[in-house]
Amino acid sequence: MGWVLTIGLCFLAALFEGLDIQSMGVAAPRLAPAFHLDPSTLGLVMSTSTVGLMIGAALGGWASDRWGRKAVLVAAMAVLGVFSLLTAASGSVPALFGARLLAGIGLGGVFPSLIAAVADVAPSRSRALSLGVMYAGLPLGGALAGAVMTQAAAHEWRLVFQVGGVGPLAVSLLILLFMPRAALARAVEPQAEHVELGRLFGPRTGTTLLLWIAYFFTLFAIYIQLNWMPTFLHAKGLTLPQASMSAVILNVGAAIGSLIFGAVMDRAGPKRLLPVVYAGMAVSLLALVFVSGVNLLTAAFFAGLFVIGGQLVLYAMGPMLYAPSVRGAGVGAAVAAGRGGAILGPILAGAGLARGFSPNSVPLMAEPGLVAAAAAIIWLAWRQARTA
C-alpha cells in the first residue's frame, strides 16, 4: 500500500502548491494599494512567479526522470517554502518581484513530479481517479488561500504567504521522511537517457506540439480566472469579503470536478469526456459575464467545477502519451509550455483593465483560446484511441 501513502503525500504537496498559485490573486485587492500598483503592474507581478514556474517545470520534469521524483519534490517544496516566506517579508516592489520569481521556480519543479509520481505508482484501473485525488489538492489549496484572506485584517496581505511558506517546508520534511523511495526510483538508465529524451520529438513531434497547444491555451484561461477572479468580482459589485469568499467557492467546485472527472475518465476514457469538459468551460465563463449579485458566487462554483476541475483531464492525458522513462520530461515540457499561457493571460487582462475595458472582458478573453485547446486535445484523444 505504499502507493496510497505516496498519493497522500502528493496531495499535501499539491495543496500548498495550489495555495501559492492563488495567493497573488486573493491578496491582490489588498497588496496593490500597499505597493501602489496599477492594474498593469499588478498583472506583471502576478505573472512573475509563473515565469519562474515555467523554468522550474521544464527543469523539474527532466530532473525527476534523472534523479527520482522524491528528490525533486523535497528540493522544490523547500525552495517554494523559503521564497514564499521572503515574499511575505518583501518591503519593495523589486523585492516582491524577486521573491515571486524564485518561489515560482520551486513551484514549477513540484507539479510535473507530482503527476509523474502518481502515474508511476497508481493502479492502472484507477490512475485518472488517483490523479484526480492528487489534483484536488490544488483547488483546495486555493480555497485555503481564500479562507486565510477572509480571516486577515482589512489591509493585511502577508498572512497568505506566511502560511504558504511554512506549509511547504513541513511537507518537504514529510516527503523526505515517509515517501517510499522504491516506488519513485530514477526512471532512466544513464545509457538510455539520450534515446528516451529524443522520444518527445521525432515521430512524436506532432503529439508533443498538440499537447503544448492544449496546455498553453487551457492555462491561459485558468490563470486569467485564478489571478483576476477576486478583483473581477469586486469590480462587479461584490464586497471584498465576498470576493475573497469567491475564491473558496471557485476552488471547492474545482476539487469536486477533479474527483468526478477522474472517476469518469477511468471508465469512459478521454475521448468521450473531453468535449463535455471543454464545452462546460466555455459556458461557465460566459455565465460569469451575464449574471450579477450573489448569483456570481454560483457561477464561480461552476467555473471552478469545469475550468479548473476539468484541467485534471488534460493533466491525466499527458502521462498516457509518454513512456515512464520520459514521462517526467514530457509532462514537465508540456506544463512549461502551458505556463506561457499562464503568463500571458494575467498580463493581457491587466493591460485591458488598465485601458478601461469592462470587467466583463476578463472571462471573455479566455474563450478563443479554449476553442484552440479543445481542438488540440480532442484530436490527440481520438488519435490515441485509434492506435490503442
Residue boundaries of the structural domains of the chain = 2-387
Q: How far apart are CA 372 and CA 16, in angstroms?
A: 30
pLDDT at 186: 47
Q: Quick one: pLDDT at residue 388?
A: 56
d(CA 37, CA 21): 20
Under-50 pLDDT residues of the chain: 186-197
What is the number of alpha carbons within 13 Å of residue 29 lying toward its C-beta?
A: 24
Question: Cβ distance 282 to 375 under 8 Å?
Answer: no
CA-closest candidate to residue 335, choices 107, 136, 130, 172 = 107
Question: What is d(CA 13, CA 230) in angstroms, rounded to the nearest whole number?
Answer: 24
Element (H, E) at 387: helix 367-387
Question: What is the model's pLDDT at position 40?
Answer: 75
pLDDT of the residue at 195: 39
- Describe the chain by its helix, strand, coil percentages, rounded to 5: 85, 0, 15
Torsion of CA 216, 342, 77, 69, to 10 degrees: 0
Please provide the distance, in angstroms rounded to a whole number, between the alpha carbons at the two ends of the chain.
Answer: 29
Q: How far apart, in whole angstroms, are the C-alpha atoms of residue 240 and residue 87? A: 22
CB burial of residue 188 (10 Å; 0-12, 13-18, 19+): buried
User: Cα 356 from chain centroid?
Assistant: 29
Burial of 151 from C-beta contacts in 10 A (0-12 / 13-18 / 19+) = exposed
Residues 6+ apart with CB under 8 A from 379: 210
C-alpha–C-alpha distance, residues 12 and 138, integer Å: 9
Taking the CA of residue 87 as centre, how many other CA atoms within 13 Å lie in the half-sphere pointing to its CB? 32
Distance of CA 45 to the CA centre of its chain: 17
Nearest alpha carbon to residue 31 among 294, 227, 250, 239: 227
Q: Is the dihedral angle over the CA atoms 199, 203, 205, 211 positive or is it negative?
A: negative
Residue 66 CA to residue 325 CA, distance in Å, equals 9
Q: What is the C-alpha separation between 315 and 332, in angstroms, rounded? A: 11
- Structurally, what CATH architecture does the domain formed by 2-387 represent? Up-down Bundle (1.20)
Reduced to 3 states (helix: H, G, I; strand: E, B; else coil), residue 154 is coil
